[in-house]
Amino acid sequence: MERLTYGSYLRVPELLALQRPLSTPPHHDEMLFIIIHQVYELWFKQLLHELEAVLESLQSDRLLRTAKQLGRVHAIQRLLEAQVDILETMTPQEFNAFRDHLRPASGFQSLQFREIEFLGGLKKTDALKHLDASADERARLERRLNAATLRDELFALLGRRGFAVGTHDERIATLKTIYEDADAQYDLYLLMENLIEFDERFLLWRGRHIRMVERMIGGKMGTGGSLGVTYLATTLERRFFPELWEVRTYLGAGNYG
């Protein structure tokens, strides 16, 4: 057998062969654009790997483990947001010099990004209508669409702990009880704070991405035919754990209802 090396273990030659600009002659900044988005997809893969582990930990009531796992998720999320800084070293003129070569490809078509949304609890089936995917990819998304989510498992866990979670009002009341007596259920309190941080960091990344896109293309349509910034702005209302956000309205303000 060939002796293992750093390059062969990490498949470095294959990895470095994957950046193929389409502009002719290749525009200097297209390489940056490709690498940034390939790196995003690698981190999305790792996020899915970590979030699946969180899901399993929730299902088996190992909440201390979820704290560590979600800590890694948050670190990756901070890195995803920081990568926008690198993209913003490219001016609108530089991006527009090769942007037309991207059509009709779009970040809207990222399979792994949709998987993260579905796994978290944002199961918007209309996303499947516009996804240019193979039969295998669609089957993969359908499986994710029909599988348990982090939000599902949070409330399943609370139900196993004896809390009422059958209706929206019961869920809000349960979350309020835990928050207002955190010492009695500290593992649940810590879990809830970690989950809303995951949600918040996702929203922060969305917001940063939107401002970057606006800085690059203004009000132009997206390369995939979407409304560009106008469409992206609507995604800021999407939350994995809406009850965790809502309950804050009632904390310290007397009984819910």
Q: What is the pLDDT of residues 142-151, one digit of tens each?
A: 899 999 999 9
pLDDT digits (tens, 9 = 90+) for 223-251: 555 556 766 777 677 899 999 999 999 99
pLDDT digits (tens, 9 = 90+) for 78-94: 999 999 999 999 988 88
256 pLDDT band, cuts 50/70/90, is very low
pLDDT of the residue at 220: 67
Give me 234's structure tokens.
């609507």
152 pLDDT band, cuts 50/70/90, is very high
Q: What's the rounded mean pLDDT across residues 123-141?
A: 77
The pTM for the full model equals 0.88
CB burial of 75-106 (b: ≥16 within 10 Å; e: otherwise) equals eebeebbebbeebeebeeebbebbbeebeeeb
Cα(170)–Cα(183) distance, rounded to whole angstroms?
Answer: 21
130 pLDDT band, cuts 50/70/90, is low
Q: What's the rounded mean pLDDT across residues 97-107?
A: 77
Max distance between CA atoms of the chain, in angstroms, equals 70
pLDDT digits (tens, 9 = 90+) for 171-210: 999 999 999 999 999 999 999 999 999 999 999 998 888 8
Average pLDDT, the chain: 89
Q: What's the rounded mean pLDDT across residues 122-147?
A: 81
Q: Is 90 exceeded by the pLDDT of residue 2?
A: no
Residues ≥6 apart with Cβ < 8 Å to 34: 19, 20, 21
Backbone angles phi, psi at 228, to 5 degrees: 65, -130
pLDDT of the residue at 125: 66
pLDDT of the residue at 242: 96
pLDDT of the residue at 230: 67
